Amino acid sequence: MSTLSAIQNRDIDHHLHPYTNAVKHRQIGPRVIERGEGIYVYDDQGRKYIEGMAGLWSVAVGFNERRLMDAAARQMEKLPYYHTFTHKTHTPSVELAEKLVQLTQGRMRAAFFTNSGSEANDTVIKMVWYYNNALGRSQKKKIIARNRGYHGVTVAAASLTGLAPNHRGFDLPLPQMKHVACPHFYREGKEGETQQDFATRMAEELETLILNEGPDTVAAFIGEPVMGAGGVIVPPETYWDKIQAVCRKYDVLVIADEVITGFGRLGTMFGSQKFGIEPDIMVLSKQITSSYLPLAAVLLGDKVHSAITRYSGELGTFGHGYTTSGHPVATAVALENIRIIEEKNLVENAARVGEVLQSSLRALSDHPLVGEVRGTGLIAAVELVADKAGRVPFDPLGKAGAAVYEAAHEHGLIVRGIQDSIAFCPPLIITEAEVKDMVGRFVDTLENVKPQLL
């Protein structure tokens, strides 16, 4: 960027940013986003970008959906805030809890509301511990996650997250959280292995860890149906069937983190439907309100809900909750957001237009920078490599991803660089023509950076 504006300098002086190199930020300043419209956002210089990441994997209905603004305004006028502690409730939260349970076809029994996916996963950890205490299993407290999995940034949730930047400098992970390998066949598969063989090996690794830790100490396994922030990792064939079989064998709860995959992203309402996951607990956020307002939900299956309910009677309360759990404005917006997803057939759109996204990106497989193209529905990633034949990553890792991320802005495109994987996760309202435009801008970006990378 050139000379910084007044707002950029004020930001540098007073605003500590998440996921940002604070020293570099002082040198280059922020890009100031002023407004949004559909799949596009505009900066304060009037430049227009396709928001290829839907913000943070999250704006399903686009950036200026009037119905959500109106829903918020109506609720603000009627009941701008009230809590859900100590036997209090209000209509939007009741209706949303009921709607979410209905969307799971009754698989889930009840909803608990938080403000973010991180808070939701911290809540899940406490619920899992509370559940096992209710059953008299005081040692069954360890939770297994996966390397490169992402489950949030609060202390316990960040311990589940399997990404080094979320641990370095924070004295994490906590000792109760264990990790197994990332199910990335392209990087972790062995020579001669089929996807099914690889899935079997992943399940065997999980079983070995459970046995080594002691089945009476392992409480739950958590995973995203498709891993997002770890690089858009789509599980290999039969993976989830085999993982769930191991969990059921040792009475280990299955937690589906659907913060990214919920509400249509994969071309099904939930990612669990796509992969045959039958979770005991589901975690939802992001697209639940299209991130117009902060909201997340923990959905509990009957056995977990029943045990927690009974134990709260014994202890006198379920001593957990947030001031804004089930905030009436957020839950009202979520209800309207889900209505829009259903009325505009955005789940079906994600499946149909997602095929165009996947095929358009896979057409780049012969590009000298492209190692792997992966994804499903309206989420995808292109992994860049220094040598295609040997699948050799760039040195240093992340060099190519950073170059493409920055250069894409000059072509009016916002993507995300995850090391050297370039992620795409556009709003669910995107059209086939807009997908082709987005991929075209990405191709132009690749050609732009190719001379400096090869």
For residues 288 and 356, membership in a common domain is answered with no
For residues 141 and 260, membership in a common domain is answered with yes
For residues 75 and 87, membership in a common domain is answered with yes
Give the residue from 300, 316, 343 where a domain finishes: 343
List the CATH number of the domain containing 55. Answer: 3.90.1150.10
Query: How far is the C-alpha of 218 from the C-alpha of 337, rounded, in Å?
Result: 37
**369, 382 contact by CB (below 8 A):** no
pLDDT tens digit sequence for 425-447? 999 999 999 999 999 999 999 99
Structural domain total, the chain: 2
In a domain, 293, yes or no: yes
pLDDT of residue 14: 97
pLDDT tens digit sequence for 99-142? 999 999 989 999 999 999 999 999 999 999 999 999 999 999 99
Query: Per-residue pLDDT for 329 more than 80?
Result: yes
Q: What is the mean pLDDT of residues 236-249?
A: 98
Query: How far is the C-alpha of 340 from the C-alpha of 289, rounded, in Å?
Result: 11
Q: What is the mean pLDDT of residues 417-430?
A: 98
Q: Quick one: pLDDT band at residue 3, thresholds 50, 70, 90?
A: confident
Give the residue from 306, 321, 343 where a domain finishes: 343
pLDDT of residue 287: 98
For residues 375 and 430, membership in a common domain is answered with yes
pLDDT of residue 2: 61
pLDDT of residue 106: 87
Q: What is the mean pLDDT of residues 8-32?
A: 96
Which residue segment(s) compose the domain that 240 sits in? 68-343
The pTM assigned to this predicted structure is 0.97
Residues whose CB is less than 8 angstroms from the CB of residue 389 and which lie 6 or more positions away in sequence, other chains included? none
Q: What is the mean pLDDT of residues 381-405?
A: 96
Query: Per-residue pLDDT for 305 more than 70?
Result: yes
For residues 385 and 327, membership in a common domain is answered with no
Q: Quick one: pLDDT band at residue 392, thresholds 50, 70, 90?
A: very high
Give the residue from 326, 343, 360 where a domain finishes: 343
In a domain, 423, yes or no: yes
Query: Per-residue pLDDT for 371 more than 90?
Result: yes
Q: Quick one: pLDDT band at residue 454, thresholds 50, 70, 90?
A: confident
For residues 174 and 295, membership in a common domain is answered with yes
Q: What is the mean pLDDT of residues 293-305?
A: 98
Query: Per-residue pLDDT for 1 more than 60?
Result: no
pLDDT of residue 188: 97
For the chain, what is the mean pLDDT? 97
Closest by CA to 234, choosing from 361, 322, 84, is: 361
pLDDT tens digit sequence for 26-50? 999 999 999 999 999 999 999 999 9
For residues 350 and 323, membership in a common domain is answered with no
- State the pairing for strand pair 413-414/48-51: parallel
Cβ neighbour number for residue 348 with a 10 Å cutoff: 13
For residues 73 and 133, membership in a common domain is answered with yes
List phi, psi (to 5°) of 235: -65, 150
